[in-house]
């Protein structure tokens, strides 16, 4: 059984991502995704708008990160249909110590649409700056 | 004129990336890229091997990161021909305060092959944990 942690994690949402074929002056799909996720108010999850996660050709795009955890970037999200998928993935990420959710336990969309991951920063030793 | 900083930054190199069409038992292209970059011993740059940056279909892959800086992931690198390009990009990244090198000043390969970027962690306020 996984130990449940309620530690703070960040859910970064790219507000610049466009839906393919959307006119240039339409509200960005990423902005809608951000608003829908921010409305859900998950305890311990800070939803942050980011102006460009630089995954423009494969949006919508989010990233999950937290201190001492691997950061994961996921793409090709639908701003409407994938809101619950993102929330499921965030909850599983939050329940880990290091951010690594076993592959089989990830939402199927996350399994197929991981764009990149970054290891956590090393813990500073005494005397480091 | 940009102010030059000699602050420590990390150059993360995915050692798992394969060259397209390479047999399964061959040394990974990412491992060669890591070795070639590590040999160059740039001051203030820590070259770290990472087992999978999860950009498998678009390797070789590196990431640049540092405290208080945006993290950038770049892909589609050749383990031989692009070593100097990576080093040029690292030096420019290191010379910034926040990790954001103006687009026109980036090496051309970096301009065309940015996989994702992640903003820095917020600075902790007094009392935060």
* ipTM associated with this complex: 0.88
Residues of chain B with pLDDT under 70: 1-7, 123-129
Burial of B45 from C-beta contacts in 10 A (0-12 / 13-18 / 19+): buried
- Reduce the DSSP state of residue A98 to 3 states and report it: coil
Show the domain range for B20.
9-118
Find tokens 């820590």 and name the residue: B46
pLDDT of residue B41: 84
pLDDT of residue A70: 97
Closest-approach residue (CA) in chain B for A10: B121
Answer whether residue A125 is part of any domain: no
User: How many structural domains is chain B composed of?
Assistant: 1
Closest-approach residue (CA) in chain B for A50: B119
Answer whether residue B128 is part of any domain: no
pLDDT of residue A2: 38
Q: Among B38, B87, B81, which residue's Cα sits nearest to residue B60?
A: B81
- Reduce the DSSP state of residue A37 to 3 states and report it: helix
Residue A76 has which token pair? Answer: 């090709």
Answer whether residue A98 is part of any domain: yes
Is B71 in CB contact (< 8 Å) with chain A? yes
Residues of chain A with pLDDT under 50: 1-5, 126-129
pLDDT of residue A123: 64
pLDDT of residue A41: 84
pLDDT of residue A121: 85
Question: Using CA atoms, how far apart are residues A119 and B22, in angstroms rounded to an integer?
Answer: 26
């Amino acid at each position: 059984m996984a130990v449940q942690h309620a530690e703070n994690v960040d859910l970064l949402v790219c507000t610049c991502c466009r839906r393919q074929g959307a006119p240039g002056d339409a509200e960005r799909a990423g902005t809608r995704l951000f608003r829908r996720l921010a409305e859900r108010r998950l305890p311990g999850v800070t939803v942050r708008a980011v102006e460009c996660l630089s995954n423009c050709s494969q949006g919508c795009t989010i990233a999950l990160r937290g201190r001492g955890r691997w950061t994961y970037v996921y793409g090709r999200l639908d701003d409407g249909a994938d809101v619950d998928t993102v929330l499921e993935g965030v909850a599983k990420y939050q329940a880990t110590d290091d951010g690594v959710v076993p592959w089989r336990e990830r939402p199927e969309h996350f399994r197929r649409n991981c764009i990149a991951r970054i290891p956590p920063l090393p813990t500073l030793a005494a005397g480091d700056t």
